[in-house]
Amino acid sequence: MPKMSLPRTSACIAPLNLVRTDSTPSLIIWACCQDVRDAVGRVPTGSMGRLFHRVLWPSLIVAGCLCQCLILHGAESKPATTVEVRFVHPKRSDITRNITLPANVKAYQQTTLYAKVAGYLKAINVDKGDPVKEGDMLADIEVPELIADLAKFKTEVDVAKLDFERTVEAQKKAPDLVVPQTVDNARGKYEVAKAGLERIEKLLGFAKIAAPFSGVITMRYVDPGAFIPAATSGSAANTAAILTLMDFSRVRVQVAVPEPEVPRTAKGQPVTVSVEELPGRNYRGEVTRISYALDEASKTMLVEAELANPKWELRPGMFAQAKIGVERKSGALLIPVEGLVVERGGNSVFTVVDGKAKKVAVKTGFDDGTNVEIISGASAEDRVILVGKQTLAAGQAVNAVEAR
């Protein structure tokens, strides 16, 4: 029996040039069968051809028509997807342009306490983390030399005083014998002795270290019995530290503002400070002082904001983010940031028109992280879709509900 050569393209697999139409089903069947006939026309004649026409031809016609009808039915019966969206009307309000910069948290007051006089640490009453009040006694230095000098100068004062009093009394009794110069010399010695005594008493006062302001002890460098050199000796200044005291019930937040923003930075501008280690907490204040001059190396200007810190949440040395409101605009047309679509080709919004999403190009201005200023492209009457993380396409059917 000779082999039958079937065409490689059958009606179920090959494109049948079927055109989508609203005509009657008979036209669809005719188109299917026409492509089958075209394929069958290439079958060899003879006994094998008659067998093909009698047995396989009807089956191919039915199979081809069923395949094409199913494809057409699937394409025509696919419904358009309607997306639930929320919309807002652009509104006019005030908006501030902010710049966000890295910042450092500093203590409002900070000092390292040194010894004025050399001696041995007799007692230290505080340690790291201890809160202190202004005037509290923190440490006591024992200075044997000054204690001995104190007794000496007290004696010298007593002797000089007695000599001065006797000279005055003698001058009154015998003015011809005791000249005024003798009285003046005695008075001078007495005054010098008193000055020496006061100096020793002052130096002994420096042997007691008191808190200059209220705060927290953050560092302790020595223990009782240690020799404390005088900080005024120069070479020993680095080793003469006793304690470090900080006051951070208020803190200074310091920001380096880059040169392009310097002309728009001024005192009184709002500042919001956040710290990564304290999520969800924002500390608000205002620009307290600016340095005016720019740093030669970095071309930045130092800006400082004071913030109340009664719970000590902000710690000196913390790294923070400071958001400074450098410009403010009144009566700007605003939409929420969720309504803005940012793409490489430009910014746009989706509006609701006749139940469908319409993509509109817009020009934007200030952005404060919550709202965006619309300069052109949208009006207060438009219904702007809050796209958010949704995926919308121009012309897509939407069921729009106004956001509250």
Domain 100-104+247-328 has CATH 2.40.30.170: yes
Residues sharing a CB contact under 8 Å with residue 194, sequence separation 6 or more, in sequence order: 157, 160
Confirm if 358 and 140 have CB atoms less than 8 A apart: no
Distance CA 144, CA 318 (A): 44
Query: SS3 of 120, please?
Result: strand
CB burial of residue 222 (10 Å; 0-12, 13-18, 19+): middle
Query: Burial, 14: exposed, middle or buried (Cβ in 10 Å; 0-12, 13-18, 19+)?
Result: middle
Location of structure tokens 């939407």: 398
94: tokens are 């005030």
Identify the CA nearest to 267 among candidates 225, 210, 325, 321. 325
For residues 380 and 92, give the distance between their C-alpha atoms in angstroms, rounded to a whole number.
8
What is the third-level CATH fold of 84-95+330-402?
2.40.420
> What distance in Å separates the CA atoms of residue 323 and residue 287, rounded to the nearest whole number?
11
Output the six-digit token pair for 281. Answer: 């907490």
Tokens standing for residue 350 = 């989706």
C-alpha triplet 43, 45, 50: angle, nearest 5°: 90
pLDDT at 50 (0 to 100)? 57
Region of 262 please: left (phi>0), alpha (psi -120 to 50) or beta.
alpha
- Token pair of 231 as six digits: 């900080």
Distance from CA of residue 392 to its chain's centroid?
Answer: 32
Residue reference for tokens 């094409």: 68
User: How confident is the chain (404 residues) per 10-residue block, as mean pLDDT?
Assistant: 43 39 40 47 54 55 52 49 90 93 97 91 95 96 89 90 87 80 88 91 91 96 91 64 95 96 94 94 95 95 96 95 94 94 92 93 91 93 90 90 87
Tokens 């803190």 locate to 251
Query: What pLDDT is stored for residue 318 in this prediction?
Result: 96
Residue 363 bridge partners (DSSP): 376
**Burial of 129: CB neighbours in 10 Å, binned 0-12, 13-18, 19+:** exposed
Q: What is the pLDDT of residue 27?
A: 40
* Global confidence as pTM: 0.65
Q: Give the Cα separation of 270 and 254 in Å (integer).
A: 14
Q: Read off φ and ψ for residue 394, nearest 5 degrees.
A: -60, 130
Q: Which CATH number fits domain 111-245: 1.10.10.520, 3.40.50.11610, 2.40.50.100, 1.10.10.10?
A: 2.40.50.100
* Domain segments of the chain as ranges: 1-78, 84-95+330-402, 100-104+247-328, 111-245
**Residue 13, pLDDT score:** 37
Conformation bin of residue 113: beta by default, left when phi > 0, alpha when psi is -120 to 50: beta
For the chain, the distance separating the N- and C-terminal CA atoms, rounded to the nearest angstrom, is: 81
How many Å apart are CA 337 and CA 369, to the nearest integer? 7
Return the pLDDT at 323.
95
What are the DSSP calls for 168-231, one per residue? HHHHHH-TTTS-HHHHHHHHHHHHHHHHHHHHHHHHHHTTEEE-SSSEEEEEE---TT-EE--G
